[in-house]
């Protein structure tokens, strides 16, 4: 009997800041920070949120964006007073940030004031959702607002930029970006030119399909079956009958797998009605 290696949970921290202005190099400071913990891409409910006295005035233009006034910040702790708590919360995790160079630049400037090592030396890595979005949606707007609109994330409460709300919104956007990437990867494997044909090699097809699926419980598996898109590329290979057969084959393959690990969803990835009556 073989033993599967133990699964190591993936810990990520969605992070956002608000600042007195746009340039840390010109002495602007952090006035708000929020961190939201994800384990295996799911929020745990653990958060860290602080308003910070920047010991300088906010630019009026910045206040118009985040709505945080100098008077409100006067009695708040300084970054120096909060640094240990912030570093302890993010230690060893991968940070998820929208436009990471901006936030990292400010955080590292604050740490430099305290003669502390750069943040990158205290974490596992950084995921920049803006860079991912620009790659996935070139020549389109990829602000947090734009991504919320694109993915149907409710941002009705976002009257101002705020670190905690923005971190919560970004966590939802990041989950959708991750799901989209997983769907594309799996779809590419299922439609690989060397993949067995389900019509002529049923057993080999199910073996191939099962081999494409993750064996751990890091996330529920979402399978994208988009007949319309693949039919355009390979009209002689992707008939409605073959698509229906794939649906049945996937159902059979997943029926013996734990529901907590695999959930079959038939969707049309690019809009319109799901083909072959599948929803």
Give CA–CA dist 236/232, Å, rounded: 9
Under 8 Å between Cβ of 107 and 121: no
Residues 6+ positions from 116 with CB-CB distance below 8 Å: 83, 87
Strands (E), the chain: 11-19, 30-39, 42-51, 94-97, 125-128
pTM of the model: 0.71
* Angle, CA 233 vertex, CA 230 and CA 239 arms, to 5°: 55
Under 8 Å between Cβ of 209 and 253: yes
Q: What is the pLDDT of residue 219?
A: 31
Give CA–CA dist 51/55, Å, rounded: 12
Give the active site residues.
161
Per-residue confidence of the chain (279 residues) as pLDDT tens digits? Answer: 455 556 688 999 999 999 999 999 999 999 999 999 999 999 999 999 999 999 999 998 999 989 999 999 999 999 999 999 999 999 999 999 999 999 999 999 999 999 999 999 999 999 999 999 999 999 999 999 999 999 999 988 887 889 999 999 999 999 999 888 876 776 666 666 666 555 455 455 555 555 665 543 223 333 433 333 344 445 455 444 444 444 444 444 444 444 433 333 333 322 333 333 333
Q: What is the pLDDT of residue 207?
A: 57
Domain boundaries defined on the chain? 11-181, 191-277
Helix (H) or strand (E) holding 228: helix 227-233
Residue of 54, 105, 57, 58 lying closest to 78 (CA atoms):
54
Q: What is the pLDDT of residue 128?
A: 98
Superfamily of domain 11-181: Ribonuclease H-like superfamily/Ribonuclease H (3.30.420.10)
Radius of gyration over alpha carbons of the chain, in Å?
23
């Amino acid at each position: 009997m073989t033993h599967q290696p133990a699964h190591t949970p993936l810990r990520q921290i969605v992070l956002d800041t608000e600042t007195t202005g746009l340039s840390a190099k010109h002495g602007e400071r952090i006035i708000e920070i929020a961190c939201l913990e994800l384990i295996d891409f799911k929020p745990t409910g653990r958060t860290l949120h602080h308003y910070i006295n920047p010991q300088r005035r906010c630019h009026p233009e910045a206040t118009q964006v985040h709505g945080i006034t100098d008077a409100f910040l006067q009695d708040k702790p300084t970054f120096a007073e909060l640094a240990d708590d912030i570093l302890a919360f993010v230690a060893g995790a991968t940070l998820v940030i929208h436009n990471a160079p901006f936030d990292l630049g400010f955080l590292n400037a604050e740490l430099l004031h305290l003669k502390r090592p750069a943040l990158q030396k205290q974490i596992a890595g950084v995921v920049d959702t803006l860079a991912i979005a620009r790659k996935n949606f070139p020549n389109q707007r990829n602000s947090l607002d734009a991504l919320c609109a694109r993915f149907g994330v409710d941002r009705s409460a976002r009257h101002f930029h705020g670190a905690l709300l923005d971190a919560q919104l970004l966590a939802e956007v990041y989950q959708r970006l991750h799901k989209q990437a997983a769907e594309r990867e799996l779809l590419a494997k299922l439609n690989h030119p060397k993949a067995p044909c389900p019509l002529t090699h049923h057993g080999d097809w199910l073996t191939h399909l099962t081999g494409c699926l993750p064996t751990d419980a890091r996330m529920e598996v979402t399978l994208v079956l988009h007949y319309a898109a693949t039919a355009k590329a390979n009209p002689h290979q992707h008939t409605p009958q073959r698509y229906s057969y794939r649906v049945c084959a996937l159902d059979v393959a997943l029926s013996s797998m734990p529901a907590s690990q695999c959930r079959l969803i038939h969707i049309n990835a690019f809009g319109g009605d799901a083909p072959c009556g599948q929803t």
